[in-house]
Amino acid sequence: MAAAWDSATPVTADQTTVNITTDHVGDEAADASSGTIIDKVQEELKRAADKVEAEFSKNEAKMHRYPPSFRGLMSKDDRYFVPRCVAIGPYHHRAAAYLHQAEEMKRAAAYYFICERQSSGHSAEVIYARILSVAGDARSCYDDDAVLAGIIPQADFATMMFQDACFLLQYIMHANGVASQLPESLRRWFVANEDSIQRDIFLLENQVPWLVLDTLIYKPAHLLDLLRHCQSGSSSKRRRISWGLPAESLPEYSSAIDLAEMGIQLKTNRTAKFRDTRLARGFLFSNLFLAPLVMDDLNACWLVNMLAFEIAAGTRYTNTSYVTSYVLLIAMLMDREEDVHELRVKRILHGDFSDQRTLSFLKDLLDLFDYWTEEHSDFMADLQDYRRKRWMWISLHKFIYNNLKSIVTVFSIISVLVGIFKTLFSISMKQH
Protein backbone atom coordinates (compact mmCIF):
# COMPACT_ATOMS: atom_id res chain seq x y z
CA MET A 1 0.00 0.00 0.00
CA ALA A 2 2.83 2.35 0.91
CA ALA A 3 4.73 1.39 -2.26
CA ALA A 4 1.75 2.20 -4.35
CA TRP A 5 1.49 5.53 -2.69
CA ASP A 6 5.17 6.24 -3.09
CA SER A 7 5.15 5.38 -6.80
CA ALA A 8 2.29 7.76 -7.49
CA THR A 9 3.12 11.14 -8.93
CA PRO A 10 2.83 13.67 -6.14
CA VAL A 11 0.45 16.55 -6.61
CA THR A 12 2.15 19.73 -5.58
CA ALA A 13 0.55 22.98 -4.52
CA ASP A 14 1.88 24.65 -7.67
CA GLN A 15 0.17 22.11 -9.94
CA THR A 16 -3.08 22.54 -8.09
CA THR A 17 -2.83 26.28 -8.57
CA VAL A 18 -2.13 25.88 -12.29
CA ASN A 19 -5.14 23.60 -12.77
CA ILE A 20 -7.45 25.92 -10.89
CA THR A 21 -6.12 28.92 -12.78
CA THR A 22 -6.65 27.14 -16.11
CA ASP A 23 -10.25 26.38 -15.15
CA HIS A 24 -10.85 30.04 -14.29
CA VAL A 25 -9.35 31.17 -17.59
CA GLY A 26 -11.67 28.81 -19.47
CA ASP A 27 -14.71 30.14 -17.60
CA GLU A 28 -13.68 33.74 -18.25
CA ALA A 29 -13.19 33.02 -21.95
CA ALA A 30 -16.66 31.44 -22.12
CA ASP A 31 -18.14 34.42 -20.28
CA ALA A 32 -16.37 36.83 -22.61
CA SER A 33 -17.62 34.93 -25.66
CA SER A 34 -21.16 34.85 -24.26
CA GLY A 35 -20.96 38.56 -23.46
CA THR A 36 -19.86 39.33 -27.01
CA ILE A 37 -22.81 37.39 -28.44
CA ILE A 38 -25.25 39.15 -26.11
CA ASP A 39 -23.78 42.53 -27.07
CA LYS A 40 -24.19 41.71 -30.76
CA VAL A 41 -27.78 40.58 -30.24
CA GLN A 42 -28.53 43.71 -28.23
CA GLU A 43 -27.02 45.91 -30.92
CA GLU A 44 -29.11 44.11 -33.55
CA LEU A 45 -32.28 44.61 -31.51
CA LYS A 46 -31.43 48.28 -30.93
CA ARG A 47 -30.90 48.83 -34.66
CA ALA A 48 -34.31 47.25 -35.33
CA ALA A 49 -35.95 49.41 -32.65
CA ASP A 50 -34.27 52.56 -34.00
CA LYS A 51 -35.47 51.69 -37.51
CA VAL A 52 -39.04 51.22 -36.27
CA GLU A 53 -38.90 54.56 -34.43
CA ALA A 54 -37.49 56.27 -37.52
CA GLU A 55 -40.26 54.77 -39.68
CA PHE A 56 -42.91 55.87 -37.19
CA SER A 57 -41.54 59.42 -37.00
CA LYS A 58 -42.10 59.89 -40.74
CA ASN A 59 -45.44 58.05 -40.85
CA GLU A 60 -47.43 61.09 -41.97
CA ALA A 61 -45.16 61.74 -44.95
CA LYS A 62 -44.64 58.07 -45.82
CA MET A 63 -45.68 56.69 -49.20
CA HIS A 64 -47.74 53.84 -47.81
CA ARG A 65 -48.36 50.41 -49.29
CA TYR A 66 -51.81 48.78 -49.27
CA PRO A 67 -52.53 47.17 -45.87
CA PRO A 68 -52.70 43.34 -45.70
CA SER A 69 -56.46 43.56 -45.06
CA PHE A 70 -56.91 44.77 -48.67
CA ARG A 71 -55.43 41.62 -50.25
CA GLY A 72 -58.81 39.93 -50.57
CA LEU A 73 -60.30 42.95 -52.33
CA MET A 74 -57.21 43.27 -54.54
CA SER A 75 -57.47 39.63 -55.61
CA LYS A 76 -61.11 40.18 -56.60
CA ASP A 77 -60.52 43.26 -58.74
CA ASP A 78 -57.32 45.25 -59.20
CA ARG A 79 -58.98 48.22 -60.93
CA TYR A 80 -58.82 50.24 -57.70
CA PHE A 81 -55.15 49.50 -57.04
CA VAL A 82 -53.12 49.35 -60.28
CA PRO A 83 -52.58 52.33 -62.63
CA ARG A 84 -54.00 51.89 -66.11
CA CYS A 85 -52.48 54.94 -67.79
CA VAL A 86 -49.59 56.56 -65.90
CA ALA A 87 -47.18 55.33 -63.20
CA ILE A 88 -46.21 57.90 -60.58
CA GLY A 89 -43.32 57.14 -58.22
CA PRO A 90 -41.25 53.94 -57.96
CA TYR A 91 -43.82 51.31 -56.94
CA HIS A 92 -45.15 50.86 -60.50
CA HIS A 93 -42.10 52.22 -62.34
CA ARG A 94 -41.62 50.19 -65.55
CA ALA A 95 -44.12 47.65 -64.21
CA ALA A 96 -46.21 47.15 -67.36
CA ALA A 97 -45.70 47.72 -71.07
CA TYR A 98 -48.99 49.63 -71.45
CA LEU A 99 -47.60 52.36 -69.15
CA HIS A 100 -44.63 53.10 -71.44
CA GLN A 101 -46.50 55.61 -73.61
CA ALA A 102 -47.12 57.77 -70.57
CA GLU A 103 -43.37 57.77 -69.81
CA GLU A 104 -42.78 59.65 -73.06
CA MET A 105 -45.61 62.03 -72.23
CA LYS A 106 -44.13 62.64 -68.77
CA ARG A 107 -40.81 63.61 -70.32
CA ALA A 108 -42.57 65.92 -72.78
CA ALA A 109 -44.61 67.50 -69.98
CA ALA A 110 -41.41 68.02 -67.96
CA TYR A 111 -39.76 69.69 -70.95
CA TYR A 112 -42.63 72.15 -71.44
CA PHE A 113 -42.73 72.78 -67.69
CA ILE A 114 -39.04 73.75 -67.81
CA CYS A 115 -39.62 75.93 -70.88
CA GLU A 116 -42.40 77.78 -69.09
CA ARG A 117 -40.21 78.33 -66.02
CA GLN A 118 -37.25 79.45 -68.13
CA SER A 119 -39.40 82.18 -69.62
CA SER A 120 -39.85 83.54 -66.09
CA GLY A 121 -36.11 83.43 -65.32
CA HIS A 122 -35.65 79.94 -63.80
CA SER A 123 -32.99 77.80 -65.48
CA ALA A 124 -33.29 74.04 -65.92
CA GLU A 125 -30.19 73.57 -63.75
CA VAL A 126 -31.74 75.47 -60.85
CA ILE A 127 -35.02 73.56 -61.12
CA TYR A 128 -33.27 70.17 -61.23
CA ALA A 129 -30.94 71.19 -58.38
CA ARG A 130 -34.01 71.77 -56.21
CA ILE A 131 -35.15 68.22 -56.86
CA LEU A 132 -31.68 66.86 -56.06
CA SER A 133 -31.74 68.73 -52.75
CA VAL A 134 -34.81 66.80 -51.59
CA ALA A 135 -34.25 63.49 -53.43
CA GLY A 136 -32.75 61.82 -50.36
CA ASP A 137 -35.67 62.81 -48.14
CA ALA A 138 -38.13 61.78 -50.86
CA ARG A 139 -36.48 58.38 -51.26
CA SER A 140 -36.73 57.74 -47.51
CA CYS A 141 -40.52 58.16 -47.77
CA TYR A 142 -40.80 54.91 -49.76
CA ASP A 143 -40.42 51.33 -48.54
CA ASP A 144 -36.76 50.31 -48.64
CA ASP A 145 -37.44 47.02 -50.41
CA ALA A 146 -36.55 45.45 -53.75
CA VAL A 147 -38.44 48.22 -55.54
CA LEU A 148 -35.78 50.73 -54.48
CA ALA A 149 -32.75 48.84 -53.13
CA GLY A 150 -30.27 48.41 -55.94
CA ILE A 151 -32.86 48.63 -58.73
CA ILE A 152 -33.31 52.40 -58.95
CA PRO A 153 -29.98 54.25 -58.46
CA GLN A 154 -30.02 57.61 -56.71
CA ALA A 155 -29.54 59.59 -59.94
CA ASP A 156 -32.34 57.70 -61.71
CA PHE A 157 -34.59 58.17 -58.69
CA ALA A 158 -34.04 61.95 -58.77
CA THR A 159 -34.80 62.03 -62.50
CA MET A 160 -37.98 60.01 -61.94
CA MET A 161 -39.11 62.39 -59.17
CA PHE A 162 -38.36 65.36 -61.41
CA GLN A 163 -40.33 64.04 -64.39
CA ASP A 164 -43.26 62.79 -62.30
CA ALA A 165 -43.55 66.06 -60.37
CA CYS A 166 -43.39 68.16 -63.56
CA PHE A 167 -46.01 65.93 -65.18
CA LEU A 168 -48.37 66.26 -62.20
CA LEU A 169 -48.02 70.02 -62.03
CA GLN A 170 -48.54 70.35 -65.78
CA TYR A 171 -51.67 68.21 -65.60
CA ILE A 172 -53.02 70.16 -62.62
CA MET A 173 -52.42 73.46 -64.44
CA HIS A 174 -54.04 72.03 -67.58
CA ALA A 175 -57.07 70.84 -65.60
CA ASN A 176 -57.43 74.34 -64.13
CA GLY A 177 -56.91 76.09 -67.47
CA VAL A 178 -53.60 77.79 -66.64
CA ALA A 179 -51.12 75.77 -68.75
CA SER A 180 -50.56 78.48 -71.32
CA GLN A 181 -47.60 76.96 -73.18
CA LEU A 182 -48.82 73.39 -73.58
CA PRO A 183 -48.69 72.21 -77.21
CA GLU A 184 -51.86 70.90 -78.80
CA SER A 185 -50.52 67.31 -78.87
CA LEU A 186 -49.97 67.16 -75.10
CA ARG A 187 -53.21 68.96 -74.36
CA ARG A 188 -55.16 66.47 -76.48
CA TRP A 189 -53.44 63.55 -74.75
CA PHE A 190 -54.47 64.97 -71.37
CA VAL A 191 -58.07 65.34 -72.57
CA ALA A 192 -58.19 61.86 -74.15
CA ASN A 193 -56.86 60.19 -70.98
CA GLU A 194 -58.40 62.50 -68.41
CA ASP A 195 -60.56 59.87 -66.69
CA SER A 196 -57.64 57.45 -66.35
CA ILE A 197 -55.22 60.14 -65.17
CA GLN A 198 -57.64 61.42 -62.52
CA ARG A 199 -58.02 57.86 -61.29
CA ASP A 200 -54.32 56.94 -61.37
CA ILE A 201 -52.90 59.99 -59.58
CA PHE A 202 -55.02 59.20 -56.51
CA LEU A 203 -53.96 55.55 -56.08
CA LEU A 204 -52.25 54.94 -52.74
CA GLU A 205 -49.16 53.30 -54.27
CA ASN A 206 -48.94 55.82 -57.13
CA GLN A 207 -47.77 58.94 -55.31
CA VAL A 208 -44.80 61.28 -54.98
CA PRO A 209 -44.07 63.10 -51.69
CA TRP A 210 -45.58 66.56 -51.46
CA LEU A 211 -42.15 68.02 -50.68
CA VAL A 212 -41.10 67.23 -54.28
CA LEU A 213 -44.09 69.12 -55.71
CA ASP A 214 -43.61 71.92 -53.22
CA THR A 215 -39.98 72.28 -54.32
CA LEU A 216 -41.11 73.03 -57.86
CA ILE A 217 -43.89 75.43 -56.85
CA TYR A 218 -51.86 73.36 -45.32
CA LYS A 219 -48.83 70.85 -46.89
CA PRO A 220 -50.43 67.38 -47.19
CA ALA A 221 -48.41 64.15 -47.54
CA HIS A 222 -49.39 63.67 -51.20
CA LEU A 223 -52.26 64.25 -53.65
CA LEU A 224 -54.37 61.43 -52.20
CA ASP A 225 -54.06 62.95 -48.74
CA LEU A 226 -55.10 66.33 -50.20
CA LEU A 227 -58.20 64.74 -51.78
CA ARG A 228 -59.05 63.04 -48.47
CA HIS A 229 -58.58 66.31 -46.56
CA CYS A 230 -60.81 68.25 -48.97
CA GLN A 231 -63.50 65.56 -49.01
CA SER A 232 -63.51 64.96 -45.25
CA GLY A 233 -63.58 68.59 -44.17
CA SER A 234 -61.32 70.30 -41.66
CA SER A 235 -61.72 70.10 -37.91
CA SER A 236 -61.49 73.16 -35.70
CA LYS A 237 -60.98 71.21 -32.50
CA ARG A 238 -59.04 68.14 -31.41
CA ARG A 239 -61.02 65.12 -30.37
CA ARG A 240 -59.96 62.91 -27.49
CA ILE A 241 -57.63 60.10 -28.42
CA SER A 242 -59.24 56.67 -28.69
CA TRP A 243 -58.25 53.44 -30.35
CA GLY A 244 -61.81 52.66 -31.42
CA LEU A 245 -63.86 49.73 -30.16
CA PRO A 246 -64.46 46.24 -31.50
CA ALA A 247 -67.67 46.19 -33.50
CA GLU A 248 -69.17 43.25 -31.62
CA SER A 249 -69.20 45.22 -28.34
CA LEU A 250 -71.38 48.02 -29.70
CA PRO A 251 -75.08 48.53 -30.52
CA GLU A 252 -76.87 46.80 -33.36
CA TYR A 253 -76.85 48.06 -36.93
CA SER A 254 -79.72 50.05 -38.41
CA SER A 255 -80.47 50.16 -42.11
CA ALA A 256 -82.03 53.06 -44.00
CA ILE A 257 -85.45 51.38 -43.77
CA ASP A 258 -84.96 50.83 -40.02
CA LEU A 259 -84.25 54.53 -39.53
CA ALA A 260 -87.32 55.46 -41.58
CA GLU A 261 -89.42 53.21 -39.33
CA MET A 262 -87.96 55.02 -36.30
CA GLY A 263 -88.97 58.42 -37.67
CA ILE A 264 -85.45 59.45 -38.66
CA GLN A 265 -85.31 61.09 -42.09
CA LEU A 266 -82.15 61.03 -44.21
CA LYS A 267 -80.99 64.39 -45.57
CA THR A 268 -77.88 65.68 -47.33
CA ASN A 269 -75.66 68.01 -45.32
CA ARG A 270 -74.85 71.49 -46.61
CA THR A 271 -71.08 71.05 -46.83
CA ALA A 272 -70.98 67.67 -48.66
CA LYS A 273 -68.06 66.75 -46.33
CA PHE A 274 -67.76 63.26 -44.88
CA ARG A 275 -67.07 64.41 -41.32
CA ASP A 276 -70.16 66.65 -41.13
CA THR A 277 -72.49 63.80 -40.16
CA ARG A 278 -74.94 64.42 -37.33
CA LEU A 279 -78.23 63.26 -35.89
CA ALA A 280 -80.51 66.25 -35.24
CA ARG A 281 -83.40 65.40 -32.90
CA GLY A 282 -86.78 67.07 -33.33
CA PHE A 283 -89.90 67.02 -31.16
CA LEU A 284 -91.51 64.24 -33.20
CA PHE A 285 -89.21 63.53 -36.14
CA SER A 286 -85.43 63.61 -36.39
CA ASN A 287 -82.98 64.11 -39.25
CA LEU A 288 -79.73 62.35 -40.07
CA PHE A 289 -77.52 64.67 -42.10
CA LEU A 290 -74.72 63.11 -44.14
CA ALA A 291 -72.69 63.79 -47.26
CA PRO A 292 -74.02 62.61 -50.64
CA LEU A 293 -72.14 59.76 -52.33
CA VAL A 294 -71.59 59.35 -56.07
CA MET A 295 -70.99 55.71 -57.02
CA ASP A 296 -69.15 55.30 -60.30
CA ASP A 297 -65.79 53.76 -61.24
CA LEU A 298 -63.72 56.88 -60.53
CA ASN A 299 -65.30 57.72 -57.18
CA ALA A 300 -65.21 54.08 -56.09
CA CYS A 301 -61.48 54.02 -56.87
CA TRP A 302 -60.88 57.20 -54.88
CA LEU A 303 -62.92 55.88 -51.95
CA VAL A 304 -60.96 52.61 -51.76
CA ASN A 305 -57.62 54.41 -51.86
CA MET A 306 -58.60 57.02 -49.26
CA LEU A 307 -59.63 54.14 -46.99
CA ALA A 308 -56.32 52.37 -47.61
CA PHE A 309 -54.45 55.56 -46.77
CA GLU A 310 -56.32 56.04 -43.48
CA ILE A 311 -55.63 52.45 -42.42
CA ALA A 312 -51.96 52.54 -43.46
CA ALA A 313 -51.37 55.95 -41.86
CA GLY A 314 -52.96 54.89 -38.56
CA THR A 315 -55.54 57.69 -38.46
CA ARG A 316 -57.66 55.42 -36.25
CA TYR A 317 -55.37 56.35 -33.32
CA THR A 318 -55.67 60.10 -33.86
CA ASN A 319 -59.44 60.17 -34.43
CA THR A 320 -59.12 61.50 -37.97
CA SER A 321 -60.57 58.48 -39.80
CA TYR A 322 -63.33 60.53 -41.38
CA VAL A 323 -63.56 58.49 -44.58
CA THR A 324 -63.61 55.23 -42.61
CA SER A 325 -66.35 56.55 -40.32
CA TYR A 326 -68.43 57.65 -43.30
CA VAL A 327 -68.04 54.28 -45.06
CA LEU A 328 -68.98 52.40 -41.87
CA LEU A 329 -72.16 54.49 -41.60
CA ILE A 330 -73.18 54.40 -45.27
CA ALA A 331 -72.53 50.64 -45.46
CA MET A 332 -74.57 50.13 -42.29
CA LEU A 333 -77.50 51.94 -43.90
CA MET A 334 -77.44 49.57 -46.90
CA ASP A 335 -78.49 46.13 -45.72
CA ARG A 336 -80.74 45.28 -48.69
CA GLU A 337 -81.37 46.64 -52.18
CA GLU A 338 -84.47 48.34 -50.76
CA ASP A 339 -82.16 50.39 -48.55
CA VAL A 340 -80.07 51.42 -51.57
CA HIS A 341 -83.26 52.55 -53.32
CA GLU A 342 -84.27 54.51 -50.21
CA LEU A 343 -80.94 56.36 -50.25
CA ARG A 344 -81.46 57.23 -53.92
CA VAL A 345 -84.93 58.57 -53.17
CA LYS A 346 -83.49 60.74 -50.39
CA ARG A 347 -80.82 62.09 -52.78
CA ILE A 348 -77.98 60.66 -50.68
CA LEU A 349 -76.83 58.19 -53.32
CA HIS A 350 -76.05 59.08 -56.94
CA GLY A 351 -74.10 57.61 -59.85
CA ASP A 352 -74.39 54.86 -62.44
CA PHE A 353 -73.67 51.86 -60.19
CA SER A 354 -76.71 49.59 -59.97
CA ASP A 355 -78.31 48.96 -56.58
CA GLN A 356 -76.84 45.44 -56.46
CA ARG A 357 -73.33 46.60 -57.43
CA THR A 358 -73.42 49.42 -54.89
CA LEU A 359 -74.53 47.05 -52.15
CA SER A 360 -71.86 44.48 -53.02
CA PHE A 361 -69.10 47.10 -53.23
CA LEU A 362 -69.85 48.62 -49.83
CA LYS A 363 -70.19 45.23 -48.15
CA ASP A 364 -66.73 44.33 -49.49
CA LEU A 365 -65.39 47.52 -47.92
CA LEU A 366 -67.15 46.75 -44.64
CA ASP A 367 -65.34 43.39 -44.49
CA LEU A 368 -62.04 45.28 -44.20
CA PHE A 369 -62.86 46.42 -40.66
CA ASP A 370 -63.14 44.49 -37.41
CA TYR A 371 -63.45 47.69 -35.35
CA TRP A 372 -65.44 50.91 -35.23
CA THR A 373 -63.86 54.34 -35.25
CA GLU A 374 -64.46 56.79 -32.42
CA GLU A 375 -66.73 58.91 -34.64
CA HIS A 376 -68.87 55.94 -35.66
CA SER A 377 -68.99 54.65 -32.08
CA ASP A 378 -70.26 58.05 -30.91
CA PHE A 379 -72.96 58.05 -33.59
CA MET A 380 -74.09 54.51 -32.71
CA ALA A 381 -74.20 55.40 -29.01
CA ASP A 382 -76.33 58.45 -29.87
CA LEU A 383 -78.65 56.27 -31.95
CA GLN A 384 -78.95 53.74 -29.12
CA ASP A 385 -79.84 56.55 -26.71
CA TYR A 386 -82.50 57.73 -29.20
CA ARG A 387 -84.00 54.23 -29.26
CA ARG A 388 -84.04 53.97 -25.48
CA LYS A 389 -85.66 57.35 -24.81
CA ARG A 390 -88.27 57.22 -27.60
CA TRP A 391 -89.19 53.55 -27.62
CA MET A 392 -92.92 54.22 -27.31
CA TRP A 393 -92.98 56.80 -30.11
CA ILE A 394 -90.79 54.54 -32.27
CA SER A 395 -93.23 51.63 -31.83
CA LEU A 396 -96.19 53.82 -32.79
CA HIS A 397 -94.38 55.35 -35.77
CA LYS A 398 -93.17 51.95 -36.97
CA PHE A 399 -96.72 50.61 -36.97
CA ILE A 400 -97.99 53.63 -38.89
CA TYR A 401 -95.03 53.55 -41.32
CA ASN A 402 -95.43 49.86 -42.16
CA ASN A 403 -99.22 49.96 -42.36
CA LEU A 404 -99.73 53.39 -43.85
CA LYS A 405 -101.34 52.09 -47.06
CA SER A 406 -103.73 49.90 -45.12
CA ILE A 407 -104.56 52.73 -42.73
CA VAL A 408 -105.20 55.12 -45.64
CA THR A 409 -107.36 52.47 -47.33
CA VAL A 410 -109.38 51.88 -44.17
CA PHE A 411 -109.89 55.61 -43.62
CA SER A 412 -110.91 55.99 -47.28
CA ILE A 413 -113.47 53.22 -46.90
CA ILE A 414 -114.72 54.77 -43.67
CA SER A 415 -114.98 58.16 -45.39
CA VAL A 416 -116.98 56.60 -48.23
CA LEU A 417 -119.25 54.78 -45.79
CA VAL A 418 -119.75 57.95 -43.75
CA GLY A 419 -120.65 59.77 -46.97
CA ILE A 420 -123.13 57.05 -47.92
CA PHE A 421 -124.70 57.05 -44.48
CA LYS A 422 -124.99 60.85 -44.57
CA THR A 423 -126.67 60.67 -47.97
CA LEU A 424 -129.08 57.96 -46.81
CA PHE A 425 -129.78 59.91 -43.65
CA SER A 426 -130.51 63.06 -45.70
CA ILE A 427 -132.86 61.15 -48.02
CA SER A 428 -134.60 59.61 -45.05
CA MET A 429 -135.07 62.99 -43.40
CA LYS A 430 -136.53 64.48 -46.61
CA GLN A 431 -139.00 61.62 -46.94
CA HIS A 432 -140.24 62.29 -43.44
From residue 29, alpha-carbon distances to 16, 18, 25, 261, 331 in Å are: 20, 16, 6, 81, 66
Structural domain boundaries in the chain: 82-219, 256-386
- The amino acid at residue 286 is S
| pLDDT tens digits along 307-355 | 999 888 877 777 788 899 999 999 999 988 999 999 999 999 999 999 9
pLDDT of the residue at 57? 59
Mean pLDDT confidence for 151-157:
83
Mean pLDDT confidence for 137-142:
88
pLDDT of the residue at 356? 94
In terms of C-beta density within 10 A (0-12 exposed, 13-18 middle, 19 or more buried), how is residue 115 classed? exposed
pLDDT of the residue at 253? 60
pLDDT of the residue at 33? 64
Query: What is the DSSP code string of 261-310?
Result: HTTEEEEE-SS--TT--EEE--SS-EEEEE--EE-SHHHHHHHHHHHHHH
Lowest-confidence segment of 80-84, 385-389, 423-427 by average pLDDT: 423-427
pLDDT of the residue at 77? 84
Residue 96 binned pLDDT confidence (cut-offs 50, 70, 90): confident
pLDDT of the residue at 82? 94
Lowest-confidence segment of 93-97, 99-103, 130-134, 295-299 by average pLDDT: 93-97
Proportion of the chain in helix, strand, coil states, percent, rounded to 5? 65, 5, 30
Mean pLDDT confidence for 169-178:
84
pLDDT of the residue at 242? 38
17-31, 44-58, 61-75, 384-398, range with greatest mean pLDDT: 61-75
Closest CA to 333 of 321, 351, 310, 349: 349
All residues at 6 or more sequence positions from 283 whose CB lies less than 8 Å from its CB, including other chains: none
Mean pLDDT confidence for 284-304:
92
The mean of the pLDDT values for the chain is 79
| pLDDT tens digits along 255-266 | 888 888 888 889
32-36, 243-247, 418-422, range with greatest mean pLDDT: 418-422
Closest CA to 333 of 257, 255, 252: 255
pLDDT of the residue at 190? 92
- Is 399 a residue whose pLDDT tops 80? no
Q: What percent of the chain has pLDDT over 90?
A: 26
Instruction: Tell me 315's DSSP state.
Output: G
pLDDT of the residue at 247? 44
* 263, 394 contact by CB (below 8 A): yes
Mean pLDDT confidence for 130-134:
91
Residue 150 binned pLDDT confidence (cut-offs 50, 70, 90): low
